[in-house]
Amino acid sequence: MFGGFVFQAIWVWADMDFDFLIIGGGIAGVSCAARLAGSGTVLLLEAESALAHHASGRSAALYEPRYGLGPVVALSMASGDYFHSAAGVLSPRGMMIIGKADEVAQFEADAASMDLVPIAFDQARDIVPILNPDTVAHCALANHAWDIDTDLLLQGFARQARSQGAEIVAKAPVTAIARESGGWRVTTPQGSHTARVLINASGAWADVVAKMAGVAPLGFTPLRRSMARIPAPGGHDVSRWPMMFGAGETWYSKPDAGALIVSPAEEHLTTPHDAYADDMVLAEGLARYEEMVTEPVTRMLANWAGLRTFSPDRVPVIGFDRHAPGFFWLAGQGGYGFQSAPAASQLAADLLTDADSVIDAGVIASLSPHRFA
């Protein structure tokens, strides 16, 4: 069943229901199930009644591979081939950063880090006609940013997983985890399952799941980020507008099915829960956006929030726990879980099956949980 799979040396083989049991039905867990399904039996358990109920159902859906810290950029860049060859998953968007006169240092740092080219205000206003000449002093543009059809991506991975025999079960909250000879016993209200390897892809609940399994938590922090959906400003056709960021990521906006989503881009520390937007934070964020445009926000069509969960160094954690044989972390994707998913899931599968990875060894080390303990 495992082919060349070399597991940790002290492992004792025993009959188990599954080779791999994944906790979490967001993009991390589902993409991992797809990558693993050809290498062993896979069960994925999701607490909610549908996949992608939490962070994976609430993202801004952007693929900008230069966004994030080095190891994240490496994974996002390595995901490019998958994205560009998956029919219909990406569509062109582009990115613009704008700044006020007194934000020049932050503006220049942001533009340089994501490789945007400074452009004149008039050129920027030809693209986004609502830019405010009284407040916008700096503009930069790039075309290397795309919209991700996140549902298509996630359902594509789910289909791939199921077509190779993986079982994906919703409404299955894991309530207890016990170590057994040769693996783990995982309990849900419907019953229990055993597996040789447990994969923790539970997003904001990564430390909760670890503690349930008797594994030391790594210190993940769920940070809330809110989003407002507003009508197209001034009735403009926004479909070709780029995603816009205020310098220092103090807000961002992005066209969304004929409307505009605007985020205050906050990072409010919270606990794992079904997140919802904070009215005051939304109002303050919308005010920061409004200052830079000529069209006021007159109403909100909808709002929501999600949790972007970070490890202590803001780099994802992918690898076997050093102290708990058979416990694999796939967590801490922060604000980059979609754009890095194709490569992150392949790396996870390669590590889980002891296969070679195309990812640089230094990057793999910087993603490993061993860096913490």
Ligand X SMILES: Cc1cc2nc3c(=O)[nH]c(=O)nc-3n(C[C@H](O)[C@H](O)[C@H](O)COP(=O)(O)OP(=O)(O)OC[C@H]3O[C@@H](n4cnc5c(N)ncnc54)[C@H](O)[C@@H]3O)c2cc1C
Q: Report residue 41 CA to chain centroid gap.
A: 25
Residue with tokens 């860049």: 77
* 335 counts as binding ligand X under rule CB under 6 A: yes
Burial status of residue 164 (CB atoms within 10 A of its CB: 0-12, 13-18, 19 or more): middle
Beta carbons of 322 and 369 less than 8 angstroms apart: yes
* 18 counts as binding ligand X under rule CB under 6 A: no
Single residue of 203, 264, 326, 342 touching ligand X by CB under 6 A: 203
CB of 304 to ligand X, least distance (A): 8
Radius of gyration over every alpha carbon of the chain, rounded to an integer in angstroms: 21
If the CB atoms of residues 268 and 322 are measured against ligand X, the closer one turns out to be 268
- First-to-last alpha carbon distance for the chain, in angstroms, is 31
Cross-strand pairs, 97:
140, 245
CB of 336 to ligand X, least distance (A): 5
Single residue of 225, 319, 347, 366 touching ligand X by CB under 6 A: 225
* 173 counts as binding ligand X under rule CB under 6 A: yes
Q: For 101, which DSSP code? A: G
Cα–Cα distance measured from residue 34 to residue 321, given in angstroms and rounded to the nearest whole number: 22
Beta carbons of 232 and 258 less than 8 angstroms apart: yes
* 62 counts as binding ligand X under rule CB under 6 A: yes
Single residue of 339, 345, 346, 366 touching ligand X by CB under 6 A: 339
* 25 counts as binding ligand X under rule CB under 6 A: yes
Binding to ligand X, residues 130-169 (CB under 6 A): none
Cα–Cα distance measured from residue 102 to residue 190, given in angstroms and rounded to the nearest whole number: 58
**Segment interacting with ligand X, rule: CB under 6 A, options 45-53, 80-88, 133-141, 351-359:** 45-53
Number of residues located near ligand X, criterion CB under 6 A: 41
* 338 counts as binding ligand X under rule CB under 6 A: yes
**List of residues contacting ligand X (CB under 6 A):** 23-29, 45-48, 52-56, 58-62, 173-174, 201-205, 209, 225, 227, 306-308, 333-339
